[in-house]
Structure 1
Amino acid sequence: MLTGSEMAVVDANAEALGVPRKQLMESSGHAVARAVRDHVDPGASVTVVAGRGNNGGDALVAARFLDEYDLRVCLLGRPETITTDISRENWDALQSADYPTEQVRDSAGFDLGDPDLAVDAMLGTGISGALREPAATAAEAMNESAATVLAVDVPSGLDCETGELADNAVAADHVVTFHDTKPGLDELAASVSVADIGIPDAAERFVERGDLRRLSRDPASHKGDNGEVLVVGGGPYTGAPALAGQAALRAGADLVRVAAPESVARKIQGYSENLIVREYDGDRLGPDHVDWLADLAADHDTVVLGPGLGSAEGTLEAVASLLSTFAGTAVVDADALQVGPEVETDAELICTPHQGELVGMGGETSDDWRERADLVEEFAADIGHTLLVKGAHDVISDGERTRISRTGNAGMTVGGTGDVLAGVTGALACVLDPHDAAALGAYANGAAGDTVVEKYGSGLVATDLLKAVPGVLWD
């Protein structure tokens, strides 16, 4: 089952893989025509009620396969307001081929007539709430008609995020939905068939450009609304927490603070004036710092734990103690991974090991990415957290959903790129669930590397990725 927003991601990923939406619309339209044939015999009267989006476009395609029927096509709105190019092309094709089409400018102009079958193609999976005119009048006419009602993808008025049905929704007799079923369809008093329209399995398996549709930003948002990230790192190293913090900012977080020992705090601050550095006493993270850090972490949407911390005994004890008291979302990276699988915590963890670190955590790996994906999924289920296992193919799994990211290149074996990944993932985890944040973080980090490798080749360094990340996520 896929929600409407997930289906939009899959559609866009299919296009990124070389299967354009126009091709999918042709397949969808053909599936609608087949469904019409399943429910009424040739010669029957069929009225198509099409909206101005891609849902309507699917039905406009179907019309070209229904020459053996007494056909009538009603467009709700003016042709010049059709919202997508491919739907407009299919409307124009019907005009050129002299199909019987009508334009419904307002609710008073709608007349369903008395067809044997009515096709509801007014609104698709991206619409929620009560139907507005003229769709409301058209839905009422269909519901009161003796016609068999066939809905395209979902009945107009079904919210495909929640499964809720509007009070004035179309009461379909049959639904032909595409690729996978949608929320709420199983609760309808209607027969539902799922049509294969040629979307490859890879559109769900691989993280692609379509996954960027998960990101949005309210134009009226204020500072902090888009995420506050705390990076806990530094001590033996200073560059790692600075990279993670800057990467979180480049990935869209509004505020990033770095908690670090006083011995290195000024050095970390020196990397960027955009970072807010909060220092604690000493030169290493230790158990005495946990209470202070726990209070600080509670004020942030996401914690990135590990960059540059080192693996001193007291440090790992402090990491375990902090995680045991934390109830938010934490990206666990580098040396902090050593305590990730064993700690009891209410936090949602995103662990970001490379394959060697994965084995150190108790997991297994394989040179074949397909086998590795299965092993990672099993281990993620065992530990109850999300894993982002870095490699030529990054594997992301929460134990139930497993994705593969194929971006990135051999130049990214240079030190620091994992710190950038941790920061990017931390920022995304402020606005997405952990699995989606990890998947998109892997994609964005690798795609940034693919951008800069064209200029620097194997001489790229981690700081090169920072300026490339926004172009991947937001362009």
Structure 2
Amino acid sequence: MSIQAPRFLYTAEQSRIVDREAIDVHGLPGPLLMARAARAAFDFFLAQYAESTAPASMQVFCGAGNNGGDGLLLAALAKGRGIETRVFLVDGVPRSEDAIAAAARAESAGIQLEACVPDNLTDEGVIVDAMLGTGISGEVRPTYRAAIDLINDSAAPVLALDVPSGIDSDTGAVCGAAVRASWTISFITPKRGLYTGAGEEHAGACFCDDLNVPTAAFAAVAPVFEVLSLKAELQSLPPLSPSAHKGHFGRCLVIGGDHGMGGAIILAAEAALRTGVGLVRVATREAHIPALLARRPEAMVSAIDHRNALMPLLEWADAVIVGPGLGQDVWGEQMLHACLGAQKPLLVDADALNILAKSKTRSLPKGSVITPHPGEAARLLSSGSDTAGSPVQSDRFGVAQQLADFWDATVVLKGNGSLVVGPKRHALCLDGNPGMASGGMGDVLSGVVGAFLAQGLSATQAAALAVVVHAKAGDRAAARSSERSLLATDLIPCIAELLQS
């Protein structure tokens, strides 16, 4: 058995197919897989503690299905190791054949199966959530809700088996209530809902053990979403030829910075310059030019007051970034509509997305990328007045696909577990940290995506590489200071370092 970083992410149905393939085709009976899951979870549990600090007690909440069976066998292993162990049967006695056998094994180990939800829990030891796994459908029932609330009210660390109970393993949505785990160990396949949205928050540190299921069993399905790898995405970059000159690496036009919003355009321009593009030109309000040139003299800057003055710059550019600090007044609208008519690959972000959502336009130039956060995504899909984006967060995978189809563009749906969806490409980023939820981070991402577009990468290549570089730069910058004090400008030198990888 082995724990490895995930390469692909699976739905519940795909996971069931792999399980069935392992049992029916590769001769791994259900009880054996359940025993392996329990052993993997117990070994993982022990690995979290030094020998002298391992908890003296374990409280295991078991459902009536196979997830509960995993918990029952884990309890037997803990009891055999001398750990004081209590088991609570949340939904009555086990009902699946394998879970019934697991209950008998636990009882033979001397464990009393308590057929109730306790009134309270000890804050010592560890709690194991083995209630629902991937088997949830609709909102959790009251009995499970009571157990979930009890677990979440405890100060003890929580180990969730396969999926925290109450989390939809396909979407990451909370089904009324969900366990907040310290760790989640999935079995055989990594479940995609654990890596984005609320699923990521509730899963804690996420791991997956393949239970020694043969590689051939995984060939029975074709998972849609892959996990972004910096090493793999860097292969998209064109090589640096000794005879190259600045014209070989693209010309990127950055448009934005209405009155009072010059910082956003500076961040986007500097990020683009650090990402290897040959030439960067900025179209902005005249008031921002001194600050921009003082910070980044490598940029060419033009004061633009009307869309007609923008036309020659659009002709010059290989790719265009529009949105950082653009504003939503007449000037911003003029800039965006000029870009839409230029038929150059666009990176559309921030206020440009809000203008786009209000316009009658329903198409973008070929090879464009949009980078909405959840609120902007909701507006782009005309999903009503919920600008907080909660409908988006309930199914980020589905919404990202809807956006890609609706706008015929590559989509980066930002947030924890950022998604990249484009033609023949679906990916999720596992990197990044909460400190990146601060002003200017999106402007830096815009600069990176636009620079890669200008260097000739396809929309999906540019988006995928930019997202993983941006996220890893955030992690590297946070390691040097702290997540709490992270600034958008901290990422830019780290981006340059990562491009040397």
TM-score range, shorter-chain basis?
0.5 to 0.7
Structure 1: gaps of 5 or more residues: 1-14, 20-194, 282-288
Q: Note the C-alpha offset of 1:257.
A: 1.0
User: Is 2:383 the counterpart of 1:357?
Assistant: no
Residue type of the partner of 2:487? V
User: Is 2:416 the counterpart of 1:392?
Assistant: yes
Alpha-carbon separation, structure 2, partners of 1:363 and 1:262: 35
In 1, are the aligned partners of 2:374 and 2:392 still within 8 Å (CA)?
no
Q: Note the C-alpha offset of 1:426.
A: 0.5
Alpha-carbon separation, structure 1, partners of 2:403 and 2:364: 17
Q: Note the C-alpha offset of 1:368.
A: 8.9
Residue of structure 2 equivalent to 1:440: 465
Residue of structure 2 equivalent to 1:306: 323
Alpha-carbon separation, structure 2, partners of 1:216 and 1:464: 26
Q: Note the C-alpha offset of 1:224.
A: 1.8
In 2, are the aligned partners of 1:243 and 1:420 still within 8 Å (CA)?
yes
Q: Note the C-alpha offset of 1:339.
A: 3.1
What's the secondary structure of 1:256's corresponding residue?
strand
Q: Note the C-alpha offset of 1:306.
A: 1.1
Corresponding residue to 1:264 among 283, 288, 298: 288
Corresponding residue to 1:410 among 434, 450, 459: 434
Residue of structure 2 equivalent to 1:322: 338
In 2, are the aligned partners of 1:326 and 1:345 still within 8 Å (CA)?
no
**Identical-pair percentage:** 31
> CA, structure 1 residues 345+355, in 2 after alignment: closer, same or farther (shift >3 Å)?
closer
Structure 2: gaps of 5 or more residues: 9-214, 384-388
Residue of structure 1 equivalent to 2:229: 208
> CA, structure 1 residues 406+201, in 2 after alignment: closer, same or farther (shift >3 Å)?
farther
In 2, are the aligned partners of 1:16 and 1:208 still within 8 Å (CA)?
no
User: Is 2:348 the counterpart of 1:348?
Assistant: no
Corresponding residue to 1:249 among 273, 277, 291: 273
Q: Note the C-alpha offset of 1:366.
A: 5.9
User: Is 2:473 the counterpart of 1:467?
Assistant: no
Q: Note the C-alpha offset of 1:337.
A: 0.6
Q: Note the C-alpha offset of 1:334.
A: 0.9
> CA, structure 1 residues 462+400, in 2 after alignment: closer, same or farther (shift >3 Å)?
same
Corresponding residue to 2:299 among 272, 275, 279: 275
In 2, are the aligned partners of 1:244 and 1:419 still within 8 Å (CA)?
yes
Q: Note the C-alpha offset of 1:424.
A: 0.4
Alpha-carbon separation, structure 1, partners of 2:326 and 2:419: 25
Alpha-carbon separation, structure 1, partners of 2:382 and 2:5: 32
In 1, are the aligned partners of 2:228 and 2:428 still within 8 Å (CA)?
yes
> CA, structure 1 residues 378+362, in 2 after alignment: closer, same or farther (shift >3 Å)?
closer
> CA, structure 1 residues 363+227, in 2 after alignment: closer, same or farther (shift >3 Å)?
farther
Residue of structure 1 equivalent to 2:246: 223
Alpha-carbon separation, structure 1, partners of 2:275 and 2:255: 18
Residue type of the partner of 1:467? P
Residue of structure 1 equivalent to 2:52: none
Give the TM-score, by structure 1 length.
0.54
Q: Note the C-alpha offset of 1:212.
A: 1.5
In 2, are the aligned partners of 1:411 and 1:453 still within 8 Å (CA)?
yes
User: Is 2:471 the counterpart of 1:454?
Assistant: no
In 2, are the aligned partners of 1:327 and 1:348 still within 8 Å (CA)?
no
- Summarize deviations over 1:82-129 as a string: whole Å, max 9, x none: xxxxxxxxxxxxxxxxxxxxxxxxxxxxxxxxxxxxxxxxxxxxxxxx
Q: Which has the higher contact order (CA 8 A, sep 6+)?
A: 2
Residue type of the partner of 1:362? L
Residue type of the partner of 1:474? Q
Alpha-carbon separation, structure 2, partners of 1:368 and 1:317: 26
Which of 343-352 and 200-209 deviates more?
A: 200-209
Alignment of 1:26-65 (within 5 A): none
Q: Note the C-alpha offset of 1:466.
A: 0.5
Which of 262-271 and 350-359 deviates more?
A: 262-271
Residue of structure 2 equivalent to 1:50: none
In 1, are the aligned partners of 2:350 and 2:372 still within 8 Å (CA)?
yes
In 1, are the aligned partners of 2:378 and 2:392 still within 8 Å (CA)?
no
Alignment of 1:141-156 (within 5 A): none
Residue of structure 1 equivalent to 2:256: 233
Residue of structure 1 equivalent to 2:308: 291
In the alignment of these two chains, the number of paired residues is: 279
